Amino acid sequence: MKIKQHIFDAHANNKKLFAVLIDPDKVDNASLTGIIERGVAAKVDLFFLGGSLLTKDVLESVAQQIKANCTIPVILFPGNGMQVTAAADAILFLSLISGRNPDLLIGQQVQAAPMVKQSGIEVLSTGYMLIDGGTATTVSYISNTMPIPANKPDIAACTAMAGEMLGMKLIYMDAGSGAKTPITESMIKVVSKNISIPLIIGGGITDAEKAYLNCKAGADIIVVGNAIEKDSSLIAEISAAIHSVPVIA
């Protein structure tokens, strides 16, 4: 319960968190070392680890390398039920509640449940919502679901509310990795007003200003992957922006 408590405490105090997403397929030893070092220096709160489509069997070794070199928690962000390793600290146990694909609503979870239990890692029950990011992303293709239209905040709010009512502990709204248009502040505002659990926002965020505005609109955790893969020096400025949002005393 350690990581969930940490996220809930931050949410209660309006302390915004920064999660750097690492796609294990896309890092090598040197680039991962760079991301870890910059992450530690910039006080990154969380590492998310996973991808919609993994083609190399390196999830465990990447998790181990992060754990061996820093104390930043490693949270699995699995693209499917096979992406489980005891080397991580926790897993976003996702149900794709924006879609109507039963395999991603409950099928993959049934298959993954015994492995997750055996691993002993912390389970973070998460309602996962795809929002149209203006381009076909890997996740929209692989999940075979229709994202929520970007101009329909009411649908997003009702979906998030349903997720909370079903007992989920986090809501993750994602425009998909490399989205052309990240989620709008107006949608974040409407959704965050309608739920009381922490809200994770990601997909297509490429600069500190956007991360800051998302936090001001009601995001609790900002996830950035693609932009950092291209330029890991962004970690420092995005982290500073997210952590500059005033905390409730």
* Contact residues: ligand 1GP, CB under 6 A: 21, 174, 176-179, 202-205, 223-227
Please report how many Cα atoms fall inside a 13 Å half-sphere around the Cα of residue 213, on the Cβ side: 12
Provide the minimum distance between the beta carbon of 235 and ligand 1GP in the complex, in angstroms, as a whole number: 12
Tokens representing 225? 């992957």
Helix axes 185-194, 208-217, angle to 10 degrees: 30
Amino acid identity, position 99: G
Contact 112, 42 (CB under 8 A): no
How far apart, in whole angstroms, are the C-alpha atoms of residue 221 and residue 10?
A: 9
Q: Which residue is nearest to ligand 1GP (CB)?
A: 202
Tokens representing 169? 């502990």
